[in-house]
Structure formats: C-alpha cells, structure tokens
Structure 1
Amino acid sequence: MAAELIYAYRIMRLPLLDAGGSEIGKVADIVTVAGRPGQPPRVVGFVATSQRRRIFVHSARIAEMNVDGVRLRSWDIDLNPFKKRPGETLIGEQIIDHPLPDHEYVSDVGLEEAHDSRSRWWNVSKVRVAKRSVLRRRPSYRLVDWRDVVQLFAGSSAMAAEAARLRDMHPSDVAHIVRAMPLTQRRQLAASMDDERLADVLEELPEKEQLRLIEGLDLERIVGVLDEMEYDDLADLLGEMPQHQREAVLEAMDEEEVEVLTRLLSYEEGTAGGMMTPEIIILGPTDTVAHALAEIRDPDWTPSIAGQVFITQPPFKAPTGRFLGVVFMQRLLREQPSTELRHCLARDVPTVRPDIIDRAVFEEFASYDMMAIAVVDEAHHLLGAVSVDDVVDRMLGSGWRLRHRRQDGAVAELQGVADAPAGDAP
C-alpha cells in the first residue's frame, strides 16, 4: 500500500510546535537535497520563522506532521539564522511556480514519509504540474513522478548534496563517514563543507588525517577553517604540519591568535600545557551570577567548559591576573542573580602547572571529579584549563579513532556516494 502524500504547500502554512504542542513559530519552507543515484530527493529540514528570525529545523528533530502543525521532539530550538548551503534546494522559493516546458509549471510537491528501525524522514515522491490554457478559466493539473523532473532537485553537485545531507549529524559520526571514503572523495566533500562544519569534523580526526583532508585547499581556505577550530586542537594540528606550511599558516593568521598558538606550541606533548585550552569562561570576583549564567548559556561552549566559571583578578584573558578559584554551575543555579561571584567561590579546587606530565593530570581528575582543571603558572596566573574530554582523548591514545566504529550502519549507508578511481584509498 502506497504511503499517503503530504503536500508541501500545505506544510508551509503550518505552525511549528514544541514537544508539548505549544506554537513557537511558523513553517516557511522545506529544504531538500538531491538523492543518491536512483533515489528520490530527500527532505533534510524546514525553514521556520520564530522570534522574527528565519531558522533551520533539521528533519531528525521532527516528531510528527499533521493538520495541527509540525511538532518537535524537544523543547529547545536553535535560533541561529538560516543560511542556505550549497547542494540544498528550497521547495517554496525555488521549486513551486518553477516553469516547465510546454507552458507548464510546478504547483506543488508531494512528500512521502519513509523510515527504518532507527529514524524516519521524508522523500519527494510526486510533483503536481499545472498548465494554463486560453480556452479554460482554470489551469489543468497532472501528477508526475519525481524522476520526470529530477533536474529541479539536482543542486550544485553530488558532493555539495552529500555535505548538505550531513548538515546536522554529530561531527564524530561525520568523521567516521569521511574516513570510510577514498581520499579524492574526502577532499571533494571537504571542499563542499562550510568552514565551521569542516573545522568540527577535523577535530574528530587524527592529525595526520586532518592534514590529508585539507591538503587540496588553498591557504586562504585553510586559514578560514583553522580559525573555527578550538585552540588546543588547532595547536595539535599545527604541530604535525611541515615547518614551511606551519609558518605560512601562522603568517596568514591574526596576530593575537598567533600569540596564543605560539604559547601553546611551546609546551611539550604529554604535559598539561600540551592538553590545555585557553578558551574558558573567565570572570572577576565582582561580576554577578546573572553575568556568569549568561556566559554559560552560549551554545559554543562545550559541556565540560560550561560546567564552571574561573575567577581571577584582571586581566581576564589568559594569562590572567591571580587565579582566585572556581564557581560551579550548580552553585550558580542556587544563588540570586544579583549575587557577586566572590560569595560563591570554591577556593580549594586543584590546579596544575603547565609542565606537569599527563599521568599526574589524570590522577587529579580521578581524585577530585572535575570537569575541567585550571592550569596556572608559578605566579598563580591562569593560563587555561584541561577539560575532561581532552583527558579521555589522551588516555585512549592517538589511535583510538582508528579502532572505534559505530555499529549503526551510517558508514555503510554513505560509503557509496560515488565510485572512486582504483588505488585512491589513503
């Protein structure tokens, strides 16, 4: 029995609902990418208007679509402005009313729900075509298969479509998919990703594979991608680069960034300094709980870094003034917003020196159950912090990503993007 068609024109007038059914916006458009050879175009998400912004909602976050609206699986929503990416096609903006031969045009697009044991999604199944005639007051309609108008959903390239399909997958999962591809395809996919997304994926790959992946990019693009990486991961990558390439990259980067990276590169591998990041939340003792919570809410912070605020004397950029202690997020949630942070301070927290060996850092984490430990110099100035995720990475060893495989079929599903020339594997 054929699945019921859901028409795009109707969806693009529905409210966007949170998990409880409350309206939080309106669906404005539907984002599709070209299917792989022989497969229909696929819906990757929806454009919605919420709080006067056009935002993107990934299809994996949709619990159901019906006459009441498009309902999310959860209450949270990403309010970053929607930006159309290469390989994506907007049904409302680009497909509906698109002219076709013989004075026909697209009047609507029929979507069909599909699912497997792990997820559900929507494919483009049919396209409703209209034709105006001087002899009739109303246009005539016919329903055609997606294969008859596949060129409408072709996008810019196969790899651009693939990058769009991977838009909101976790970077770790994308890294596994990338590593399963021949080298030529990896580089094509990297070229199709935006800088921020490629940076996220690079951080999930061993440094030698990072270098292979960016090898075909020009210097300007490389610098753009590296600017999006976390400082500790970027320092590790720069440490693996040939000297001439490292010098060229550093020369093209911002002076302030170069200063931070040069300091990180000065620490020996296998030390706290070699693991730490200077990108942490640093405030002063007279800042308020409300200020600290506002900083923690920034979605760019990882959970391990957002778990605490480091308190120092000015200046508040590493290397800071004297380190005073830490305020943990749980304490912040128990205090009045106007309370100054000096009244919430945990002073008896462990700190480590940048030259301490990684084994000693592991023992500090095990002893004190910390999410991040401050790294301080001899004068007790804060230099940065080692986070628990970096400790786990170091404890597992550099080859753990090569050994790790998720058994969810994602790699197998995406391996056949295109046929690679023989002998192209890394």
Structure 2
Amino acid sequence: MAAVNRVFAAQLARLPVFGPDGESIGKVRDLVAGLRLDQQPPRVLGLVVELATRRRVFVPMLRVTAIEPNAVTLATGSVNMRRFHQRPNEVLVLGQLFDARASLASTGARVTVVDAAMEPTRTRDWVLAKLAIRERGGPFGLGRRRSALRVVPWGEITGLGLSDLTGQVQGAGQLLMLFDTMRAVDVAATLRDLPLKRRHEVADAMDDERLADVLEELPEDDQKELVAYLADERAADILEAMNPDDAADLLSELNPAEQSRLLELMHPDESGPVRRLLEYSSDTAGGLMTPEPVVLTPDATVAEALAHIRNPDLPPALASMVFVCRPPSATPTGRYVGCVHFQRLLRDPPAELVAAAADTDLPTLSPSASLTEVTRYFAAYNLACAPVVDAEDHLLGAVTVDDVLDHLLPEGWRETGLHDVGDLGAEPPARARTEEADHA
C-alpha cells in the first residue's frame, strides 16, 4: 500500500480501479466496514467495486496496493466474481453511514455525519478513525443556522455502534449529493444495493423528474416494488415524467386494477399516449415505439430541424432522425411524408425546406411488426431510429435501437450485466472474502 495517512470516503466514490499492469477493473462504489458493539473505530474490510458488466463485487483491503487522488490500484487483476452481499455486521460507508445522526460524547450535541476518513494502522489494517460532522443546530436540534464542518475522532461520537446504525433512520441528503454527478443507470444500480428502508428514503427525497429517470433503469421487480411503496398520486406523477414507452412497459407489469387506478390519476394528455401503447404487444413495433419522436411539417426549414435535435433532453437515438408529416404533428400524425437523417440536415442549407430533404423511399415499420422483423430492419438499414406507420399513412411513433436491445438481451440483464464472468480472471467462489478471515 502506498504511504497514505488519511483517505476520506467521499474522495473514493467512483474512482477507477486498476490492476497491477494498468488493466481497468471497474469503479469504487462504496466502502465496507465492520460494525462494533463498542465505540472503537470500525475496521474497513474492503471496497465494493462495480465492474464494466455492472456486477458489484467485494475487494478486500489487503488487495489494495495504492490509493491515488485519481485511481485505486490492486495487487492483482484477478477478482472474485461473486456478487457482493452485505452481511449483518457490516455497514456501507457511503450508502448508510453518510447522514447518520449521532451525538457528541462530551456535550451531547446532536450531529450529522457528512464524511468518514479511514487511516492505516501498524498491522496494515484500515480503520474509520475520523468523522466529518455538522452539529444539527441549537438545543434539541432546533436551530436554523448551519454549523461549521468539523473533523473529530470516531470515539468522540456516540450512537454509531452496531445496535445504533442497524436501526437508525438516516437522511438521504449526502447520498443525493453523490447521485447528482452520476448517470441515471448508475444511480439505479446503487439504489438496488441499498437496504430497502434506505432505498425508500432516497426515493422520497428525489424530485419527480430524477426519480422517473432512475425508475426507467431499474429491473421490473424493483420498479414494481418502488411503485407499490409510493403513494398513488406521486406514482402517477412519476409515470407522467417517464418516457411514454417506459411508462407503458411498467404499467403492463401491474395488475389491471392498479394499472387502471394509476392511469386515471395521470393527466389525460400524458395518459393518452400510454394507453395507446398498451394496446400493442410488448414484442411488436407498436409496443416498442415511443410516441414522441421529432415531427415537423413539410414547410419547416433545415434550421428549425437542427434546433429541435439540439434539445439536450432528447435521447441521442431520437435525435438522429426527424420525421416529416402533414398536420397534425402530434402522433398519430397527418399523412407521413418521409424522414431526414441528421447527417443530411448538417449538409443541406439552413433555409432549405425539410420536405425537399426527406427520404421518401425508406420503408416503414407497421405497428404489428414482430421483434424479429424490427431487428432485421435495423440491421438492414443501419439506423438508430425507425418510423412506425399505420395502414392509413399516419406516423404512430418511432422505434429506437436501444429499445430493441433492451428486449433482445437476456431476462434479468440489468441485475447480472451481459456476462456472469468477465475477462478479469475470476477466482473460484469458494475463496470469497478469504482475506477477511486472515484479519479476524
């Protein structure tokens, strides 16, 4: 281990992890510490590392040879591929210790933990020796003024023992601050690994738009569990904030009574497209499509089209193509004219009409086209987005390649990643956490 005197947990979050030869292993997602019944600093057992396949594994601290400001290096590129599972006597420093509420032993003042620092010992162990805290206001925590950040030894804080943390209701503010820098898919993976109670606290603290983005990235079972936890009114608000095709996929997994109740609570403008999607089987173009592609009338200019696809909230696949239709522009539209790929828009003069640039010969998908037909269509025409048009030439929506991949991947791929074992030289499962036993 490189000579390091103190490392704060927040500094480790999301740092890349490399093997001894510079090979990429994954990213740090959390620290695992062993809880104690007394007030002695807990020992840091290891790191939770997320591999490229999204699988989270445990790496003992004895494997860590260097901690740098921008990376963590391991003694070997081989890691145990058994999925990390938290044990009853363990605490996730980022996921559970941050925002924990405790008291100063000397004064009894109430404090909130905002960070934890680990330090090495003479025996090559690492312990959570220091805590960064803020006092929670005046007497009884009622003060409004925000106190200064302080770093104190672990022993000066009470209320963080094994019996305290396992039953404590923690806030989610510090965790949400970490989530602000993460993609929705990474937040979803982190959320899945939190204890159920903590997961609900984070969901309660998230705004509707952010929670909708995260919910879209969760596996079906986790989606249903979270929707069941939320109050019906908020669940409906979250569904309104989701992409209509993702909302339809989620609602299709619920029982008819719950589905109907949530649809009734949604605003008609938001529930209408979702209801139309629910009419199609999930493995058809109609079930895969989004009803909100970029649609322009024939008299729109190339400059207007480029302005639409510059929208940062538009997914890249949908931004790759605009569709030209007669009014109305909302799906189902008027007569479908054709489509324009964004590369054509970049080449044509800004004042030119999109109708002149439209590809009128590209075949379209029918809403009843099977998943196999849709897959062959994308492979044949090398597209990221494709029009779905009914028999009366109305554009109903667009299928994107990411939606196709979502349905082609094995069931449960969000939990396991694409491969159960990567190319990092997996160790036999029987060796899981043997380094911990060496420390015991």
The corresponding residue for 2:54 is none
How far 1:186 sits from its partner (Å)?
A: 2.0
- What's 1:238 paired with? 251
- Out of 385, 398, 402, the residue aligned to residue 398 of structure 2 is 385
Match of 2:327 among 294, 314, 335: 314
What's 1:93 paired with?
A: none
Task: Give, as a single letter, the amino acid of the residue that structure 1 aligns with 2:178.
Answer: R
Amino acid at match of 1:145: V
Alignment partners' CA distance in 2, 1:312 and 1:258:
23
**1:7-44 CA distance string (max 9 Å, x none):** xxxxxxxxxxxxxxxxxxxxxxxxxxxxx9989xxxxx
Distance 2:327 2:265 in 1: 30
In structure 1, runs of 5+ residues without a counterpart are 5-35, 40-62, 64-87, 90-111, 113-123, 128-141, 151-155, 408-426
Match of 2:268 in 1: 255
Higher relative contact order (CA 8 A, sep 6+): 2
Contact residue 350 and residue 373 of structure 1 kept, 8 A: no
C-alpha deviation, 1:350, in angstroms: 2.5
Give the letter for the 1:211 counterpart.
K
Deviation, structure 1 residue 189? 2.0
Give the number of equivalent residue pairs: 300
Corresponding position: 1:302 with 2:331? no
| Structure 1 SS opposite 2:241 | coil
TM-score by length of 1: 0.60
Aligned equivalent of 1:212, options 222, 225, 228:
225
1:192 to 205, 219, 222: 205
Q: Check the 8 A contact 1:352/1:376 in 2, yes or no.
A: yes
The residue matched to 2:172 in structure 1 has which SS?
A: helix
Of the three residues 367, 388, 393, the one matched with 1:375 is 388
Superposed CA deviations along residues 233-254 of structure 1, whole A, max 9, x for unmatched, are: 0001111112221121111111
Give the aligned partner of residue 47 of structure 2. none
- Residue 168 of structure 1: how far off its partner (Å): 2.5
Q: Is the 8 A contact 2:367 2:388 kept in 1?
A: yes
Superposition deviation, residue 377 in structure 1: 0.4
Aligned with 1:270 (options 283, 300, 307): 283
The Cα shift of 1:336 comes to 2.0
Does the 8 A contact of 2:278 with 2:287 survive in 1?
A: yes
Report the alpha carbon displacement of residue 173 of structure 1 after superposing the two structures with TM. Answer: 1.3
Structure-2 separation of matches of 1:3 and 1:334? 57
Matching residue of 2:67: none
**Quick check: 1:145 aligned with 2:145?**
no
SS of the aligned residue for 1:293 comes to helix
Aligned to 1:341: 354
Paired residues of 1:321 and 1:381 also in contact (CA < 8 A): yes
Deviation at 1:206, TM superposition (A): 2.1
Q: Using the alignment, how far apart are the partners of 2:313 and 2:302 within structure 1?
A: 20
Decide whether the 8 Å contact of 1:206 with 1:398 is kept in 2.
no
1:405 offset after TM fit, Å?
7.6
Alignment root-mean-square deviation, CA: 4.3
Unaligned runs of at least 5 residues, structure 2: 7-32, 36-40, 43-69, 71-97, 100-116, 118-129, 134-147, 158-168, 423-440
The reply to whether residue 355 of structure 1 matches residue 368 of structure 2 is: yes
Secondary structure of 1:318 counterpart: coil
Matched ranges for 1:65-144 at <5 A: none
- Aligned AA for 1:283? L
TM-score, reference length from structure 2: 0.59
Q: Counterpart amino acid of 1:346?
A: D
Assess, with a 3 A threshold, how the Cα gap between structure 1 residues 240 and 143 changes in structure 2: closer, same or farther: closer
What secondary structure does 2:226 align onto?
helix
Residues 208 and 240 in structure 1, CA contact (< 8 A), matched pair in contact too: no
Matched, 1:167 2:180: yes
Summarize the alignment of residues 42-61 of structure 1 with structure 2, pairs less than 5 Å apart: none
Q: Secondary structure at the match of 1:215?
A: helix
Output the amino acid matched with 1:234: A
Give the 3 Å change call, closer, same or farther, for CA 146–341 of structure 1 in structure 2: farther
* CA deviation string 1:318-359 (max 9, x = no partner): 000111111111111122221111121112223111011111
Runs of 4+ in 1 over 4 A off after TM superposition: 1-4, 36-39, 124-127, 146-150
* Whole-Å separation in 2 of the counterparts to 1:227 and 1:167: 22
SS of residue paired to 1:179: helix
Distance 1:2 1:309 in 2: 54
Change (3 A) 1:188 1:339: same
Q: Deviations over 1:190-229 (max 9, x none)?
A: 1222111111111111222201022221112112211110
